[in-house]
Amino acid sequence: MTKIRLGVNLDHVATLRQVRGGTTSYPDLLFYVHESTRAGADQITLHLREDRRHIQDSDIQNVIKYAAIPVNMEMAATEEMTKLALKYKPQFVCLVPEKRQELTTEGGLDVVKKKKQISKLIEKLSKKGIKVSTFIGPDKKQVKASQEVGAFACEFHTGHWVQFKDRKKDKEWLKLIESALYCHDLNLNVHAGHGLDYESTRDIKALPFLEEVNIGHFLVCEGLKAGLYESVRNMVQILK
């Protein structure tokens, strides 16, 4: 069986740096890019939020310049972010929903509702060789819309599935399976992410045709105990 790709999201390394208003240069994001790479990560994922609460424009520029592995830039589906992606040229872009007041991404992008807008953005990015995925809930309508706007992959929001219990969790899992199968039928890659830890990552491996997961908060938190290298290496082993 082929190893599932691991994208390490380093947003919360930047959160620790920015918590003092950007007055410190530590923790050094590039150091943790190197540690993640050394531990076997397949890509670095960074969410450049509109309010710049953690990742900064300079982080995107520097990580793309110095990382030895591909960079996946998560961003809102806006003209501002599209211009920045075209400027810095990450290998991948993942379009995500974004609300200023949320603590973290609470759900999937409504591609159906924003179809025309997203289609134009993906066309611009694709012309520059940037592959675009959509971060969506497990919903076949959103999968179909993602195909129609030109995405190459759907990343399914796993946060609700991780938190749900009992029958509710089982129902969400069935929705994930159905959406993943439909995604594959439409020749789109199947990705997953949000809220995953060691235990839930072992379980998500059963999702049909899963090729990639993106994990951040848990890995950074685990890294406070033994170092990010160890937490990423453990996750890489799970995904083999």
pLDDT at 230 over 90: yes
Asked if residue 27 has a cis previous peptide bond (ω within 30° of 0), the answer is: yes
Residue 143: pLDDT band (50, 70, 90) is very high
For 4-38, what is each residue's pLDDT tens digit? 999 999 999 999 999 998 889 999 999 999 999 99
Residue 174 has pLDDT above 80, yes or no: yes
pLDDT value for 1: 55
The mean of the pLDDT values for the chain is 95
pLDDT value, residue 196? 98
Write out pLDDT tens, residues 57-85: 999 999 999 999 999 999 999 999 999 99
Q: How confident is the model at residue 221 (pLDDT cuts 50, 70, 90)?
A: very high
**Per-residue model confidence as pLDDT tens digits over 203-215:** 999 999 999 999 9
pTM of the entire structure? Answer: 0.95
Q: Is the pLDDT of residue 161 over 60?
A: yes
Q: Give the pLDDT score at 104.
A: 53
Output the pLDDT for position 29: 98
The DSSP bridge partners found for residue 46 are 73
For the four alpha carbons of 89, 93, 99 and 101, in that order, the dihedral sign comes to negative
Ramachandran region of residue 16, left (φ > 0), alpha (ψ -120 to 50) or beta? alpha
Concatenating the DSSP letter of every residue in the chain gives -PPPEEEEE-HHHHHHHHTTTT----S-HHHHHHHHHHTT-SEEEEE--TT-SS--HHHHHHHHHH-SS-EEEEEESSHHHHHHHHHH--SEEEEE---TT-SS--S---TTTTHHHHHHHHHHHHHTT-EEEEEE-S-HHHHHHHHHHT-SEEEEE-HHHHH--HHHHHHHHHHHHHHHHHHHHTT-EEEEESS--HHHHHHHTTSTTEEEEEE-HHHHHHHHHH-HHHHHHHHHHHH-
* Domains of the chain (ranges, CATH numbers): 5-239 (3.20.20.70)
Share of the chain above pLDDT 70, in %: 96
Contact assessment for residue 3 and residue 208, using Cβ atoms and an 8 Å cutoff: no
Which residues, including other chains, have CB under 8 Å from residue 113's CB and lie 6 or more apart? Answer: none
pLDDT tens for each residue of 111-142: 999 999 999 999 999 999 999 999 999 999 99
Report residue 101's pLDDT band, with 50, 70 and 90 as the boundaries: low
Cα 131 to its chain centre, rounded Å, is 13
Catalytic positions, written as ranges? 47, 74, 194
